[in-house]
Amino acid sequence: MPKKVILDVDPGIDDAMALCLALFNPELDVVAVTAVGGNCPPDQATRNVQAIIEQLDPPRWPRIGAASPPDHALPVDGRYLHGSDGLGGANLQVAELRSRHPSEKVISDAIRATPNAVTIIALGPLTNLARVFLRDPELTSMVGEVIMVGGTVSGPGNITPAAEFNMYCDPESARTVFRSPLTKTLVPLDLTNQIVLSYDLFNKLPDESTRVGKLLHTILPPAFRAYRQRFGQEGIHVHDSVALMAAIHPTLFTIEGMAADVETAGELTSGATVFDRRRVPAWRHNLGVAIAMDREKVVDAIIQGLHQAAKR
Ligand code: RIB
Ligand code: CA
């Protein structure tokens, strides 16, 4: 029985790759793809979700949720890495802008439609999830689990010295989700930074004669250029695809129960994820954290997954 999932995304080049993997994976039933602002503004994120799905034309089209503005303006612009339109400047055409249900309503409806059977895979800021569970706390007991990408356990941030991008964009929402009684798993930068999509791996991706290959060959080269110019790094991180692998291939990951919260007021530390790892912790465990993975097998699963997707 395919696992019912909702993908909450801020596409975002690595979000787009994760969507390629998820939308064609026979083990997943992607019931909804909901947009959230982050790598690009909310309206662009919504447009990108629709454009990606139109480009890929998956066997089963998910419901689409429209991102609404966060309570506070995004504190950072992710387009330095993801391009002017969030997808490397691909400027993908959208056939028609469908009626747009807000992401938080699409998520709520999907949970109610199949209680205790939906996994939410959060690949962007946690704005939508916080809204869903603040407005309808009963839903926290109706979700299967939440898998989130972001935060850092002991490594540095990637958007500030202290904070990872998704948590930094909306720390209040991140704190709300961390403090909720949801069954949560966090895939932090400490892990996702261990994988770099090199040029060699890029050359192993499906070719442009396929829908998946055509999209990846359009959006990835600008990301390689941005990583080289910004970080002097040859190769790109694919954070969201790594987190998706935790949902598809959980045995490739080691998960440890931890106690964590999110800084919301620090002048220098806003968005930092703080873990109670004292010898005698005072905070109660509130989430599982992916502390290790079989890196080679995760890389292989991503590449093979993209080839499977290209054949569908
Ligand atoms: O810090 C990496 C995360 O922030 C990824 O999800 C990336 O897409 C951005 O949203
Ligand atoms: Ca993302």
CA atoms within 13 Å, Cβ hemisphere of 165: 22
Ligand 1 atom 10: residue of nearest CA: 124
- Ligand 1 pocket test: pick from 87, 165, 230 the residue with the most ligand atoms within 8 Å of its Cβ: 165
In the structure, ligand 2 is a single-atom ion and the residues with CB under 5 Å from it are 10, 12, 15, 123-124, 240
Q: Which of 101, 217, 239, 285 is catalytic?
A: 239
Band (74; pLDDT cuts 50, 70, 90): confident
Q: Calculate how far, in angstroms, residue 257's C-alpha sits from the geometric centre of ligand 1.
A: 23
Ligand 1 atom 1: residue of nearest CA: 165
Q: Calculate how far, in angstroms, residue 300's C-alpha sits from the geometric centre of ligand 1.
A: 21
pLDDT at 99: 63
Q: What is the pLDDT of the chain when averaged over all its residues?
A: 96
- Cα–Cα distance, 221 to 200 (Å, whole number): 13
Q: Calculate how far, in angstroms, residue 147's C-alpha sits from the geometric centre of ligand 1.
A: 14
pLDDT at 124: 98
pTM of the model: 0.97
Ligand approaching nearest to the C-alpha of 238: 1
217 is catalytic: no
6-28, pLDDT tens digit by residue? Answer: 999 999 999 999 999 999 999 99
Band (249; pLDDT cuts 50, 70, 90): very high
Residue in 190, 170, 156 with CA at minimum distance from that of residue 270: 170
Q: Calculate how far, in angstroms, residue 33's C-alpha sits from the geometric centre of ligand 2.
A: 13
Count the Cβ atoms, other than its own, within 10 Å of residue 2. 12
Burial of 3: CB neighbours in 10 Å, binned 0-12, 13-18, 19+: middle
Per domain, the residue ranges of the chain are 3-311
CA 167 remoteness from chain centre: 12
Band (248; pLDDT cuts 50, 70, 90): very high
- Cα–Cα distance, 149 to 132 (Å, whole number): 18
> Where does 3-311 sit in CATH, by number?
3.90.245.10
191-213, pLDDT tens digit by residue? Answer: 999 999 999 999 999 999 999 99
Ligand approaching nearest to the C-alpha of 165: 1
pLDDT at 76: 85
Band (227; pLDDT cuts 50, 70, 90): very high
- DSSP codes, 177-205: HHTSSS-EEEE-HHHHTT-EE-HHHHTTS
Residue range 89-96: average pLDDT?
A: 88
Q: Which residues, judged by CB distance below 6 Å to any ligand atom, belong to the binding site of ligand 1?
A: 10, 12, 14-15, 38-39, 123-124, 149-150, 158, 164-166, 239-240
